[in-house]
Copies of this chain bind each other. A is one copy, B any other.
C-alpha cells in the first residue's frame, strides 16, 4: 500500500509531459516524482490505440514496484487512447490523466453561456478519439465543440523553434484561424507540448477566449486527489525528480530544460527490450533498485 512518502509517477511519450511535472512541482513541491519518457517510440500522436496502450502498459508494469501513490498519464494521446483499459488492468493504482481535468476547466471557463463554443487542438489520435469532446459534452450538453488536429505543432516545438519564427507564426495562424472563425469562447490546449507557445496562442485568439492548459489543470487535479486520499507529503525538503527514458538522444537536455524550465540530472536509460520482457511475464517483477532521492 502506498503512503504519503511514496512517489508520484508521471509518464509520457517523450518530454512534453515535463510541462506537467513543472506544474505539479509548483503546487506540490515536496513530492518525489518519477518521470518516464518513452523517447525511443515517440510520438504517440499518430499511432493506434492498441499500440499506445501496449506501450503504456509496459511502462506502468516497469514502474509498478515503486509502489506509486499516484500515476499521471501526462500525455493527451495516451490518456485518450489507453486510460480506460489501463485503469481496468491496474485496479490497485490511482491513475489520472490530462483530459478530464482539461475538460472540466473548459466547461467552467465557458461560464454562464448557454451554448458555449469550445475549440480543442491536439494530435491526430487525441482528436480522432473524441475523448475531449465527450468529456466536455457530459458537462455542458449544449456546448458546440470544434476539435482540430494540429499534428505539426509538437514536432515544431520539439525542434526548439522560438515563437517569433515565421514558420511557427504561419503554423499557429493556419491552425487557429478556422477556430477563431467559429467564434470560440474557450480553447483547450490538448497536448502537453502546447503550453510552450501559450502566450502567443492567447495573443492570437484574443483576450475574450479562455485558453486552457491541460498541464496546469492536471496538476491541480493531482493535488485534489492526493488531498482527499490524505496522501500529500508533508512540506519541508523539496521533492526529488528522477527521469527514465527509453532512448538516450542528445536532444534530452535541450528539450527537458525547455519543457521543465530548469536543468536536470541525466536520465536513466531503460531499453525497450526490458519493457517488453517484463510485460510478457504474467507477474510484474522488480527492476533494478532505484535511488530515488539522489537527483535534484
Chain A interfacial positions (CB closer than 8 Å to B) = 39-41, 46-48, 50-51, 54, 124-125, 128, 151-152, 155-156, 158-159, 166-167, 170-171, 174, 246-251, 271-273, 276-277, 279-280
Contact = CB atoms under 8 A, between A and B. Distances in A.
A128 to B, nearest CB: 7
Contact of A51 (B54, B128, B246, B251): B246
Contacts of A248: 48, 50
Given A151-B155, A166-B170, A167-B174, A47 B273 contact: no
B249 A48 contact: yes
Q: How many copies does the complex hold?
A: 2
Contact of A247 (B51, B159, B249): B51
Nearest to A40: B51
Contacts of A251: 46, 124
A272 B156 contact: no
A136 to B, nearest CB: 23
What 10 A-B pairs are tightest by C-beta distance, nearest first? A276-B276, A155-B155, A51-B247, A40-B51, A41-B41, A167-B170, A48-B249, A47-B247, A48-B247, A151-B159
B167 A54 contact: no
Given A151-B159, A167-B174, A40 B47 contact: yes
A47 B39 contact: yes
A178 B242 CA distance: 40
A152 B246 CA distance: 22
A102 to B, nearest CB: 24
A151 B48 CA distance: 23
A159 B128 CA distance: 15
13 contacts: A40-B41, A41-B41, A46-B158, A48-B247, A48-B249, A51-B247, A51-B249, A54-B271, A125-B249, A128-B250, A272-B272, A272-B276, A273-B276
